[in-house]
Chain A
Amino acid sequence: MPSATVDSINEILKTIPDPEIPVISIVELGIVRDVQINADDSITILITPTYSGCPAMMAIEQDIKSVLQQHGYNNIKVKLVYSPVWTTDWIPDEAKEKLRQYGIAPPAHSTSDKSVLSLHPRAIACPRCGSLQTSMVSPFGSTACKALYKCESCLEPFDYFKCH
């Protein structure tokens, strides 16, 4: 087994895509909270769910174990933590740009912005044509983290990654 450091494990975790939004990694999404190298050489990965019922959590746990195993790390524990509570504020700007290019409008603002308290926050730009002439079709979408929008300019429907 190669000797593990927190950095080397983190580099590997950065290559694991989110199962439902494969253009960004589970690290970029903020699901991976911490990596701990234990005294017995086992490795503990702390992860937090995006939404309580996110059905991808089990797949993510399995992905972490199998990818680390491919790199020669066999003694892996994955632990679910709830605090601090996951927020879209953790998604870095580069990852938001990747979402947009993939066709998902990224969270438009920080959760400290009070306009998120409304079901209809300020205008969301269409990820395809950039138009701000968009409207919400449904506050719930194809996965727990998204709402459904449509663009009035190019007429395409699109997913919006909700501020949370």
Chain B
Amino acid sequence: MTNQEAVFEYCLRIGDTSLILGQRLAEWCGHGPILEEDIALTNISLDLIGQTRGFYDYACQVENKGRTEDDLAFLRDDRDYRNLLMSEQPNGDFGQTILRQFLMSSYFSLFFAELAKSKDETLAALAQKSLKEVQYHLRHSAEWMLRLGVGTEESARRMRLAVDELWLFTEDFFDTNEVDDVLLKAGIGVDNRMLRESWLSLVKSKMEEAHLSVPENSYAIRGSREGKHTEHLGHLLAEMQSLHRAHPGATW
């Protein structure tokens, strides 16, 4: 695998994850529990889809086969997608959406802080840009997790359920394959295995504040690196891609 091929795959992992999470959050549009949170979740969605465009644009450049951002978003099937499995999980209730956001934003705040030091200048710049936004998302979701976790009996119960629903997708964050090995050696990629410990201590401290415990020895579902997804991604793509599939080449 060449550096170029690995960078392409790396951009897909990041861009696919932010696109799918952004699409999920956009489903909240008009359904937020209060107007301010409706606006917050869709604002986060907008940031994420913006980040996607940067990584897709770069993926298309390094691939150099004439594909565009739209081709990547709308003309690939679920097995071609490299998004983290957690991003495709259904929204559930507001608490579950907040927990998903907290777990993913905390991972990406650590990931982008490392990628910002990449020898690849474009990846470093995109990471710096994304980092500022993701840190804001993290603060927002951590505040809500705290409020819900120590709020009422009902909100605490739902947050514990959300932990049970989502925790099994966290190990998938830290899986590596040849792409990681190639890029780590070239000083381009992040040492993903190293992130696990700092992520776990960050997440543990915030979850303890919110009276939530981190499951131990939980069953883990993984496979995003190879494009092995849960059943939810196909449904999401069917909706997201329907217009482009019905009207190939449609643009704004």
Does chain B have a CB within 8 A of A54? Answer: yes
- Interface SS of chain A: loop
B121 to chain A: closest residue by CB:
A83
| A53 to B: closest C-beta gap in Å | 3
A82 to chain B: closest residue by CB:
B125
Q: List chain A residues, Cβ under 8 A from B36.
A: 137-138, 140, 148
Q: Are B125 and A140 in contact (CB under 8 A)?
A: no
| B134 to A: closest C-beta gap in Å | 10
A142 to B121, CA, bound (A): 32
A54 to B54, CA, bound (A): 12
Q: Are B39 and A138 in contact (CB under 8 A)?
A: yes
A52 to B122, CA, bound (A): 14
Q: Are A52 and B125 in contact (CB under 8 A)?
A: no
Q: What total count of A-B pairs have CB within 8 Å?
A: 70
A17 to B232, CA, bound (A): 44
Partner of B129, one of A85, A119, A138, A141: A85
Known A140-B39, A140-B40, A140-B43; judge A49-B50 contact (CB<8 A): yes
A119 to B125, CA, bound (A): 24
Q: Are A139 and B140 in contact (CB under 8 A)?
A: yes
A139 to B43, CA, bound (A): 10
Residues of A within 8 A of B (CB): 49, 51-55, 81-83, 85-86, 117-119, 137-142, 144, 148, 162, 164
For the complex with contacts A49-B50, A138-B36, A139-B139, 11 further pairs of A-B residues with Cβ separation under 8 Å are A51-B50, A52-B48, A52-B53, A52-B129, A53-B51, A53-B53, A82-B126, A83-B124, A118-B139, A138-B40, A139-B136
